[in-house]
């Protein structure tokens, strides 16, 4: 009896096919597990960061304007909001009496829109990068700060030029 007969060849072929399928499934499973692993250095560290409220803004040329009244999410010091307009998404924070900051809302890590805000930190929902209200990186993987735009506050209107 030979070990290289047709029946043995078929058995080896089946074994190899099944072994390759099992290895492929295991590899895909480990890749998917890595994408959802909360201990990964590029996964959000705080997936529970509350979403920023959104505020309306107007654009004239390259100047963005937001009206701040008592009903605005930006009425109190320490508040922040997201505004989206034809120039893009922006983060606005009320940092002190009559003082505001305006930043681009595009994370410098992989271009996600920053939408979370907790403990005076903006939080990117994609990989957990955190920025302070001046745009400086507090926690990576973001490599650089958010772009900051000088603001003016007059007659209850915040303006900044992009």
Residue 18 sits in which domain range? 1-35
Residue 50 lies in a domain: no
Residue 44 lies in a domain: no
- What pLDDT does residue 152 have? 96
* One domain for residues 72 and 113: yes
* One domain for residues 146 and 78: yes
* One domain for residues 76 and 152: yes
Residue 55's closest CA among 43, 39, 36, 71? 71
> What total of structural domains would you count in the chain?
2
* One domain for residues 1 and 65: no
Mean pLDDT by 10 residues, the chain (162 residues): 56 58 48 36 53 93 94 94 94 95 92 90 90 91 92 96 93
Instruction: Give the pTM.
Output: 0.70
* One domain for residues 6 and 62: no
Residue 8 lies in a domain: yes
* One domain for residues 84 and 134: yes
* One domain for residues 121 and 65: yes
The H-or-E segment that residue 27 falls in is: helix 6-35
- What pLDDT does residue 9 have? 55
Residue 42 lies in a domain: no
List, in order, residues 6 or more apart from 39 with CB less than 8 Å away.
Answer: none
Residue 17 lies in a domain: yes
* One domain for residues 74 and 123: yes
DSSP notation for 84-139: EETTEEEEEEEEETTEEEEEE-B-TTT-PBP-EEETTEEE-TTT--EE-TT--EEE
The rounded distance, in Å, linking the Cα atoms of 158 and 57 is 10
DSSP-derived 3-state class of residue 43 = coil
* One domain for residues 97 and 149: yes
Contact (Cβ atoms closer than 8 angstroms) between residue 74 and residue 55: yes
- What pLDDT does residue 13 have? 61
């Amino acid at each position: 009896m030979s070990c290289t007969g047709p029946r043995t060849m078929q058995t080896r072929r089946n074994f190899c096919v099944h072994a390759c399928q099992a290895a492929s499934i295991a590899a895909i499973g480990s890749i998917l597990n890595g994408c959802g692993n909360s201990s990964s250095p590029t996964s959000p560290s705080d997936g529970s960061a509350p979403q920023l409220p959104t505020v309306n803004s107007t654009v004239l040329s390259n100047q963005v304007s937001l009206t701040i009244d008592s009903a605005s999410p930006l009425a109190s010091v320490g508040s922040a909001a997201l505004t989206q307009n034809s120039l893009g998404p922006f983060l606005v924070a009320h940092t002190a009496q009559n003082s505001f900051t305006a930043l681009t809302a595009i994370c410098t890590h992989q271009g996600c829109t920053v939408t979370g805000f907790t403990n005076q930190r903006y939080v990117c929902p994609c990989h957990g990068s955190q920025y302070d209200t001046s745009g400086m990186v507090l926690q990576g993987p973001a490599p650089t700060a958010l772009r900051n735009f000088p603001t003016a506050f007059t007659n209850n209107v915040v303006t900044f030029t992009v």
